[in-house]
Structures are given as C-alpha cells and as structure tokens.
Structure 1
Amino acid sequence: MKKEPVKIKERDKLSRARDFEEVVLGFSEGEALEEASRCLQCKDPKCIAGCPVGIDIKAFIGQLTKKDYDGAYATIRQKSNFPSICGRVCPAEYQCRKACVFTKKGEPFASQQAINIHFLERFIGDHGAKKGLHLKASGGSKYKGVKVAVVGSGPAGLCCAGELARQGIKVVIFEGLHKTGGVLRYGIPPFRLPRKILDSEINSLKELGVEIHLNTIIGKAKTIDELFGEGFSAIFLGLGAGIPSFLGVPGENLCNVYSANEFLTRVNLMNAHLFPVSHTPINIGRHIVVIGGGNTAMDAARVAIRLQHLAGVPPDTTICYRRTEVEMPARRLEIEHAKEEGVKFDFLVKPEEFSGDEKGFVGKMCSSRCELGEPDSSGRRRPVVIPDSHFEVDCDLAVIAVGLGANKILTSVTPQLKTDKYGDVTVDPQTMETSIKGVFAGGDIVGGEGTVIEAMGMAKKAASAILDYLDRKSKD
C-alpha cells in the first residue's frame, strides 16, 4: 500500500489565472489505480455514511483497483446521478474524506492522508461519460402516459428528472433562465466545472426523453394549478435559492457593489468577460474586495482576478472575512487555489460602510477589526468587533458573497404552499411532499443553501416518493 496520497495534477498557477479553462486536470489511469490501492477496504467503511447519498465507496474503489471501470461506474450511479460533476465540486473534505480512517477524530476537515475519493469518483465518472454508460430508461414502463413537471434545472431538478425519466415517466423541466443547469451553470465557474461536463449530463437526460422548456418562470408564466390542469400528475419544485443576502450597511447601493449572484451570473452565464462580443458588460475594478468565506466567495474572487488579468489591470483582489481561515466554510482546495492565483486574504474584518464619489461609484470600504468570542449557533466562534479599530481601504468594486435566500416568485402567488420564516418551502422530511398534495420539493428551496450532492439526495428521496404517490393514485 502506498502511504502517501497521489497528488492531483493542476495547471500552472500563473497561466491558469488568465483564462477560464479547468484548473484541476484529474487522475490518469495509472494515478487512479495507485490512489485506489491506498484504500484499506475497511470492514466498516465510515466513508459511506459520510456521503449524503450513500455511494458504496468501498465497492467502487475495489472495482477500480481491478480495472473494472464499467462496474465502478454502475456502482456509483446506483446512488449518484452526476459523478463527473460531484467529483469536481463536492466538499469531500467535510463529507466522505472526513470520515476516512486516515482522518483523525475531531479534525474540522479531512487530513491530507485521507483517500482522494472525489478524484477517484471523477475519474470513473469521466470514464462512464466517454463510453456513453449513462443509465437507460426501463422498458415496458407501467407509467406510460404519465407526466411529471419539474420546476428548475439545477442539481435537484436535473436529478429528480433523471430518476423519474428512467422509470418511463414523461418529464418536462421548466427553467426560468435561457440555459439549463441552474447554479451549476450560473454559479460555478467553468474553471471548476467545464461546461462540456455539465452539457453531457443534460444531454443524457434529453436522451431519456426529458423535455426542457427554457425562459419559463413558474409563478409568472404558469401557476401550479395550471400545470395540474395541463395533465401533470405530480410536480417537483427545485427552485434553488436565488435572492442574495446583503450586509445591511450604508453604501451598498453604490455602483460597482455587486451581489456574488449577479457578478458570477454576468460572467458564468452571460460571458461578460467577452464583452463586446457578448452583450453583457461588467466593470472591472483596480481594487476588488470580495466579502465572505464560502465557496461562492472563492469563486467570485478567482473570477475577479481573471478579469483583472484579461483587462490588463494589475491584479489586486482581496477576500475579507469576519472570522479566521480555520472557520471558513469554503473547500480547502478552493482556498488554496485562490491563494495560488494571487487572491489576498484579510481575516477578522467586519465591513461597516461603502463610500463613493459624486457620480455614485464605490471608492472605499470602511471596516473594523474583530476578535473571536464564544461559539455561536453554527459552532464557530463569534466575531466580536474590537473598539476603535476602524480602518479604510481602496475599493472600486465590491462583491458581497454572504449567502442566498428563497426566491418568492412562486410562493407569493401560491398561498397554499407553506413556507418557513425564511421563505423556504416546508416539506415532509420523509417524502419531501409539500403542503400541496402531489407537489414535492428539494434542493436549496428546502432548508436553504446546501451542496450539490445534498440537493441530489433530497431529489432522489422526492423521486421515490413521487413514484409511490403515482402508484397510489393509479389505484384510486
């Protein structure tokens, strides 16, 4: 057994910060076999419990070591719909890798010695995609003629659509934007998730007969009642969390103060970095500040520094976070990549005001220094402002990446659809059914922002419940 992990190949840190091509290159066959050989094949593999959808990690790694790549792909696909995607974006250091026997108990995230499960999943997922091993629809379905509507084409919507389509159900996805993918497309930059990988997964759904209607906002173009009136037997809501949170400080309405949602959408979805070839512009600051500590903040900062390079502006992008690096919820890999690409970090900072010029453009950010106090409800130590620690920095473009809330377009016109105090849709946790009979929900619209694989887990649970619901309905 090789004790040291196989280091994943990455592009050179200087050249990659000047384009949007994928940074992590993935394992070769030999590297994947070498890394897989490190797995101890534990009798009681804790890593499986660490996976939100329960992939049989022990089994697929065992198959990989025997070069049974098709079998490993089939094992993963029993639980995960998008191995190529999850292998690239899952926070494995907080999930399966953290549960690996090579990670010491009590560690906040996986140790470097933990098996690189996500990279092995990526290797197998890419193998399956290249060979066209996507799961096919079952023949002779009892659901012939049954239609189910899926609202939203993010990870939850795509996963639920795939689960149902493989059972022979006619699935129609309604997407509000002009492209499919939801947060996978507008939120995650292509240097983390290449569009050919995302498009491959979407095309596999189309091959199953899934129909996709773009530019259709349910709650505006159609209501839930109208969908039922059109003959849909059940509806799944994968609306996501699309309303950005802000700091609530003076000056947030100044020009060039973006939410991360808008900033990333302009670049990832609308190709603003290609303006004027694309039709969407974006301003590029000389002193960019990104506020937040999650993956979205890392994505925004890494996009920002690329925009500076492409515009010929000396790179100056700083992430400001109110706690320390240890408390950052972002993936360790994303933090490392941001540092390597030249992003600066300023910790224990609480922004308090943006100030601008006479034209209304932001020019400076005023903040206070913090120290860590007692733990809060998240288990992390609460930042406490240090008196008389105010300071000011140049800031001609700010990106606020402090979370997203529920989009209320649909819920505001559907009073019978119950929500919690945050505006998220409430569901039966066992079935994911909402307060409306035959309407199910999953992903970020249920319980707030989560990971891709967590959304997938909810969608799979909902799909199973929808099948049960359809079976009961057919007997009535």
Structure 2
Amino acid sequence: MADTKKKKQILPRTPMPEQAPEVRRTNFEEVTLGYDMEMAVAEANRCLQCKKPFCVAGCPVEVNIKDFIKHVQERDIVSAYKAIMATNSLPAVCGRVCPQENQCEGACILGKKGEPVAIGRLERFVADTFAADDACQELSGKDECPLVREDLKVACIGSGPSSLTVAAYLSTKGIKVSMFEALHEPGGVLIYGIPEFRLPKSIVHREINALKEHEVEINTNWVGGRTVTVQDLFDQGYKAVFIGVGAGLPRFLKLPGENFIGVYSANEYLTRVNLGRAYDFPEHDTPVIRGRKVTVLGAGNVAMDAARTALRLGAEEVTIVYRRTQEEMPARKEEIHHALEEGVQLNLLASPTEFLGDEKGNLRGLKVQRMQLGEPDDSGRRRPVPIEGDTFEIETDLSVIAVGTGPNKILLDATPDLGLNKWGYVQVDEETGETSIPNVFAGGDIVTGAATVILAMGAGRRAAKEIAKRLL
C-alpha cells in the first residue's frame, strides 16, 4: 500500500522589507525595516516545533526559541516577549546584530534542506512590537519586581552589553546598581561602535531609559582606573563590582606611513561618526575626514561598518582590502551582502605594506602585496602567502584600519591584583565570572577579546546570577 502521509513542504523564508541599496547608501536610517504581524506569523509558521530544538543549544544565552515562536504563531506577543526575556535582556539588539547564521539559525533543522527559520527577525519583531507597562516589565518581562534596596549596592564599570545585562538582572531582583562609563553617553559598543543604519540609537536608549526608571544610577565621564577604581567602590560600600569595559584599544599594522593624515583606526573613525554624530556635521561639532577614495583594511563586521559608513559620508569609491578570499571573510554574510549591494568593492588576496603620502603629510595611496593561499593556519583558514615581486598601488585619501582590538590597560594597571592571561585579558571563573579578586566579576570583550554582543550578554548574565545568589 502506498504511503499517503504527506511531508510538510518547506517554504522559503519570509523576506524582510529593506531600503533599496541606491537609497540607503545616502542615509543613516536603518537598512532593514522589520516584519509586520502577518509577515511574522507566516515566518513563525515555518517552525517545525521540534521535540529536541537544536536552535536553543545554538543560542549563547539559551533563549527558549521554540516557545517564543509558538507564541508568535498564536499572535501572543506578550507571552513571546516573556519567553525571550527569561534569558535575554536585549532582544531588540540581538535580533539586529547577532550572528544568527552561526548560532541559533545555524542549528535549525530546516537549514539542512532549505532555509532556517528567521529566528533573529522574529526576535526583533517581538521586541519592537511589545509595549511594556513599566520599567520592570521592559527589563524582565515580569509584571512585578522587588523594591530596590539601597543597602545592597553593586557597581558596573563600563556600560556596554555585558554591564547592561548585569544592571537589568540585578535591579529587577531588588539590588541597587550604579554604572560608571568613561564616555559621555552610556551604551558602550552599542553606541560608539555599531552604526545607526544597523542598530538605531533609539533601541539602545529604550533599554537605558528603562534602567534609569528602575533606579539604576548611570554616571558618565568616569574613567575606570582613573576617576574611579575598584578599591574606591568597595570603600564606598559596594558589595560587588562588575568589570565590563570592553576591548577598545585599536590594533595598528605598524607599517611605514601609518601616521599620515587620513589614516584612522576603525575605533576612532566609527566613534567619531556614531557617538560624536559626525555624519550630522556641523549640527554636531565632531569633524571627520570624508574621503573621496576610501580603503578599509580588514574584513570583519567592523570593517563592513566602516566601509558602509564611508559610502554614506559621500565617498566616490570604497574598497575592502583583505589578504584572503571572500570565502574566508569573518564578517556576517548579511553584512557582506548589504555592503556589496551598496557598492563597496573587494580587493582580495591583497595585503598592505606601506601608506604613501604627499609633501604635506596627507595620505595619497597604499602600497599592496599580492597574496595567494597556502596551508591552513591555527584558525583553520588557509594562510596567505606573498607572491614574490607582485606589488601594486591603490589611490586612497582615507584608509581605515579594522584588524582587531586589544584590552585598554588603564583599569588593569590600576588593579594590580587582577589576574590576566597571556594576551592581557582578565581571567575569570567560567561558571561565575569571578576574577582573582573576591567579589570582582568581569565579562565581555575584556575577558574574551573582541567577540559578539550576545556572548558578552551571556557573561553578564552568569555573573549577575552569582552576585544575586551571594547577596540575596
């Protein structure tokens, strides 16, 4: 007898509306426009509701993806939000900037034979659609939170994703949290690093405003290790300290001509444009060089952000210079796709050897060595090897170096008892996030080196749970 049981047809992903490339490359508004309810329900209905949801294991904070998507299928946004917030304090952020293709969506069963469920897009939809009644509900998804106790004080040095997670978790448990941020605006890399067209500042401000309403004290222009030290905080009665200062020290290539006018680190370039609002000069008084022919050195997400920013600032030509091929580029596939759509060019298997300048000290070009791929290195990627005698020059008046970051030593030098690893990052207990100093915790890039927002949040959550366990 023939098997009459029909297999469920695997439908393609529900497309997300976005600005046309020729339009968005001229503005700093968000590229992707988000789902409406009908789109979200259609995409949620693709979910197989697996008995063993591998997507959850693929999520660094183990969001109950199966349940929240089920609630979206039922158009119950309140329940969907609560399901996400049980483990993820920043769903509107994560839905936009997490590398879902390597995490939850990468583990989705549908991805084996077709396209995985658009988990990130659905998470974003839920977070953007949910309307909280108060700060407690916004930060925790719960209807009630304990009153904040002034006698239980915890300090966060830094205000990026790991510290925001700590503050949200502890404040909704009734613990008083104070944050100390070196810059003039809280949010860390979410504000100074990620461009408006990928993560609107209003999304970050929504989270920060909810923290303020929940009695989290936010102090800006306080430099950890200078304006305030870990010992200062304990002397002031804080019961625990969380260090979430990121890894904001730029790495340079140490090439001849690196000091020419027109050579930026990606940190400075993006901070000027994002935090300093240089894209709105002279309405905001932070200047930035608007290059005509721009080169970006590197191929990660930061490099893509810098390249796409340069286009929006009016560059005629923007080129990514990378020593491997497109297949090895570490940036998210979506970011590479958007960059290419917008007109960013790739100069691959090419490694810079010298910056060239004019008699006034201005950058005029880049000398480049042609490469080929050899045997795999420690990262598993094939090692780039120079092709003897094959060099060329690229005309450029603005070059942005986006080849990674390191730990800023100001706070580390001021805290000599803090255990560091051989790379200069803070050593912590993997289960609790506690450092070598009792009741001092750390998480995010200052522990792992440059990584993802969601990994920083996961570290913040682990530390916050341990702090709450000890204090309550």
* Same fold, TM-score > 0.5, yes or no: yes
Q: How does 1:192-231 map to 2 (within 5 A)?
A: 192-231=198-237
1:137 to partner: Cα distance: 8.6
Q: What secondary structure, in the 3-state scheme, does the structure 2 residue paired with 1:417 have? A: coil
Matched, 1:417 2:425: no
- Given that 1:5 and 1:112 are in contact with CA atoms closer than 8 Å, whether structure 2 keeps it comes out as no
Give the counterpart letter for 2:222 in structure 1: T
Q: In 2 relative to 1, CA 139–335 (structure 1 residues): closer, same or farther, beyond 3 Å? A: closer
Query: Could you say which residue in structure 1 is the equivalent of 2:18?
Result: 10
Instruction: Please give the alpha-carbon distance, in whole angstroms, between the structure 1 residues aligned to 2:40 and 2:108.
Output: 17
Q: CA deviation at 1:470?
A: 2.4
Residues 67-106 of structure 1 show CA distances to partners (whole Å, capped at 9, x for unaligned) of 11110100000010011111011110111111111223xx
Alignment of structure 1 residues 111-126 onto 2, 5 Å = 113-126=115-128
Q: 1:462 to 1:138 in 2, by over 3 A?
A: farther
Equivalent position SS for 1:379: coil
Aligned with 2:130: secondary structure? helix
Cα distance in structure 2, aligned partners of 1:72 and 1:142 = 27
8 A contact 1:426–1:435 mirrored in 2 = yes
Tell me, yes or no, if the aligned pair for 1:137 and 1:165 is still in contact at 8 Å: no
Amino acid in the other structure paired with 2:455: E
Contact 1:438-1:469 at 8 Å conserved across structures: no
Give the number of aligned pairs: 460
> Is residue 19 from structure 1 mapped to residue 21 from structure 2 by the alignment?
no
For 1:143 and 1:438, locate their aligned partners in 2 and report how far apart those are by CA, in whole Å.
Answer: 19
Q: Retained in 1: the 8 A contact 2:444–2:455?
A: yes
TM (norm. structure 1) is 0.94
The question of 1:40 aligning with 2:42 is answered: no
Per-residue CA deviation, residues 2-54 of structure 1 (Å, 9 max, x unaligned), is 61111111011111111100110011110000011111111111111110000
Match in the other structure for 2:332: 331
- Which residue is equivalent to 1:263? 269
Deviation at 1:376, TM superposition (A): 1.4
In the superposition, the TM-score normalised over structure 2's length comes to 0.95
After superposition, residues 291-306 of structure 1 pair within 5 angstroms as 291-306=297-312
Name the CA distance, whole Å, in 2 between partners of 1:451 and 1:329. 12
Find runs of 4+ consecutive structure 1 residues off by over 6 angstroms: none
Q: Secondary structure at the match of 2:471?
A: helix
Q: Does the alignment pair 1:246 with 2:247? A: no
Identity %: 50
**Cα offset for 1:141?**
5.8
How far does residue 247 in structure 1 lie from its aligned partner after superposition?
Answer: 1.3
Matched, 1:465 2:471: no
What letter corresponds to residue 120 of structure 2 in structure 1?
A: H
C-alpha deviation, 1:277, in angstroms: 2.2
Superposed counterparts of 1:424-443, under 5 Å:
424-443=425-444
Question: Residues 22 and 139 from structure 1, CA distance in 2 versus in 1: closer, same or farther, beyond 3 angstroms?
Answer: closer
Q: Which runs of 5+ in 2 are unaligned?
A: 1-8
Equivalent residue number for residue 83 of structure 1: 91
The alpha-carbon deviation at position 112 of structure 1 amounts to 6.5
Q: How far apart in 2 are the matches of 1:442 and 1:369?
A: 39
1:236 and 2:242 are equivalent in the alignment: yes
CA RMSD of aligned residues (A): 1.5
Shift of 1:262: 0.2
Deviation at 1:468, TM superposition (A): 2.5
Whether the aligned pair in 2 keeps the contact of 1:56 and 1:75 (CA below 8 Å) is yes
Q: Residue type of the partner of 1:285?
A: G
